[in-house]
Amino acid sequence: MILKPDTIINKHIGHIITKIEENGFKIVGLKLIRMSRKDAEKFYEVHKERPFYNDLCNYMSSGPVIVGVLEAENAVQKWRDLIGATDPKEAKEGTIRKLYATNKEANAVHGSDSVENAKKEISYFFSERELSSD
């Protein structure tokens, strides 16, 4: 998961972390970073041909983000359910994006769309020694 620049700017970090814990996730890795434009381009490479790619890379490299690894039964789907639709206007009540997103681009959080992509994304930001499942 990633808490995007708008989450940091709008001081919603604590609210979202609380929501994560209240929904049964265990945080096994967490750190504040600043993605460079090249980092964002590589991370979102899967979207390279999409019309929003350039704006997304600019946005994600515009300020600090918090990257994290969450653990739970069926974690990818559970996280996607908790964060809600990409567009906060379409997100269900009580979801993170409904509560904290500004708009479709500044939508508070990132979530992997599959277990396979989650593994790639985790290894992009974390080494094994930085994760604690204890």
Q: Which residues are catalytic?
A: 110
Per the structure block, which two tokens stand in for 88? 């906060």
Contact between 29 and 117 under an 8 Å Cβ cutoff? The reply is no
Contact between 82 and 68 under an 8 Å Cβ cutoff? The reply is no
Overall size of the chain counted in residues: 134
Q: Which amino acid is at 44?
A: Y
Q: Any bridge partners for residue 32, and if so which?
A: 66
